[in-house]
């Protein structure tokens, strides 16, 4: 079986390629095989002549592919450290609806000045060409996920997946767990192996939002 987390010579993973284009269908297949979303790779922007280092979620977020971001979080990507970035974008987008847009510094501007690879200095989707129509709903969802601790069920599921890694599909049947729990571990709720691409959240976060 092909290694789903394989880094090719340019330092780019399959998940990063999906993130760069918002390719949900391919990403779902990779997540079905439990690919790693935290492996960072080199991203080069020809127009700005800037090279910087991002993981799949960070790249999808900066490109404005928020549906891709949501799927990654549902599949276990941890966003606690990104809460401030989400809040900044929420405040920025809210103010931009009332005031003329102002140029924002690119998150990787420092790498252009130093000539070396650098981590993202300030994660933002301010430079995305187009956000989805439901960007606000997804951004509020991301803020909620970054602001609230995972449930015990979430934590257990994601620890098992992280421990097994890309061997998940061939190992899960040997786990001494009830079928329902195995389905949780396989994220059956996301329908990652279904062509329709329809899924439902396994973990209810409606409690984080007040009813209108």
pLDDT band at 193 (very low <50, low <70, confident <90, very high): confident
Q: Domain tally for the chain? A: 1
Q: Which residue has the higher pLDDT, 116 or 30?
A: 30
**E-strand stretches of the chain:** 41-45, 50-54
pLDDT band at 104 (very low <50, low <70, confident <90, very high): very low
- Please indicate, yes or no, if residue 49 is contained in any of the structural domains: yes
- Please indicate, yes or no, if residue 169 is contained in any of the structural domains: no
- Please indicate, yes or no, if residue 9 is contained in any of the structural domains: no
- Please indicate, yes or no, if residue 31 is contained in any of the structural domains: yes
The pTM (predicted TM-score) of the whole model is 0.78
Q: Exposed, middle or buried by CB within 10 Å (0-12, 13-18, 19+), for 52?
A: buried
Mean pLDDT of 82-88: 97
- Please indicate, yes or no, if residue 178 is contained in any of the structural domains: no
Instruction: Please identify which residue in the block is written with the tokens 């079986």.
Output: 1
Judged against a pLDDT cut of 90, whether residue 197 lies above it is answered with no
Q: Give dist(CA 141, CA 145) in Å, integer.
A: 6
- Please indicate, yes or no, if residue 56 is contained in any of the structural domains: yes
Cβ–Cβ < 8 Å for 51, 117: yes
pLDDT 10s digits, 47-66:
667 777 899 999 999 999 99
Range of the domain at 45: 14-149
- Please indicate, yes or no, if residue 36 is contained in any of the structural domains: yes
Please give the pLDDT value at position 53. 86
- Please indicate, yes or no, if residue 54 is contained in any of the structural domains: yes
Where is 73: in which H helix or E strand? helix 66-74
Where is 59: in which H helix or E strand? helix 56-62
Q: Give dist(CA 186, CA 183) in Å, integer.
A: 5
């Amino acid at each position: 079986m092909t290694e789903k987390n394989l880094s090719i010579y340019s330092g780019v993973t399959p998940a990063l390629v999906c993130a760069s284009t918002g390719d949900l269908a391919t990403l779902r297949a990779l997540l079905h095989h439990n690919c790693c979303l935290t492996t960072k790779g080199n991203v080069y922007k020809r127009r700005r002549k800037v090279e910087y280092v991002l993981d799949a979620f960070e790249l999808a977020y900066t490109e404005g592919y928020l549906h891709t971001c949501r799927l990654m979080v549902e599949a276990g990507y941890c966003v606690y450290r990104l809460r401030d970035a989400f809040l900044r974008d929420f405040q920025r987008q809210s103010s931009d609806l009332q005031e003329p847009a102002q140029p924002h510094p690119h998150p990787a501007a420092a790498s252009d000045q130093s000539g070396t690879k650098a981590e993202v200095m300030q994660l933002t989707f301010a430079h995305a060409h187009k956000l989805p129509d439901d960007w606000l709903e997804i951004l509020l969802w991301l803020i909620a996920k970054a602001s609230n601790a995972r449930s015990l069920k979430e934590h257990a599921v994601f620890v098992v997946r992280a421990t097994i890694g890309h061997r998940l599909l061939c190992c899960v049947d040997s786990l001494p767990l009830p079928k329902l729990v195995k389905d949780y571990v396989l994220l059956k709720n996301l329908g990652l192996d279904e062509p329709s691409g329809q899924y439902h959240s396994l973990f209810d976060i409606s409690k984080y939002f007040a009813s209108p």
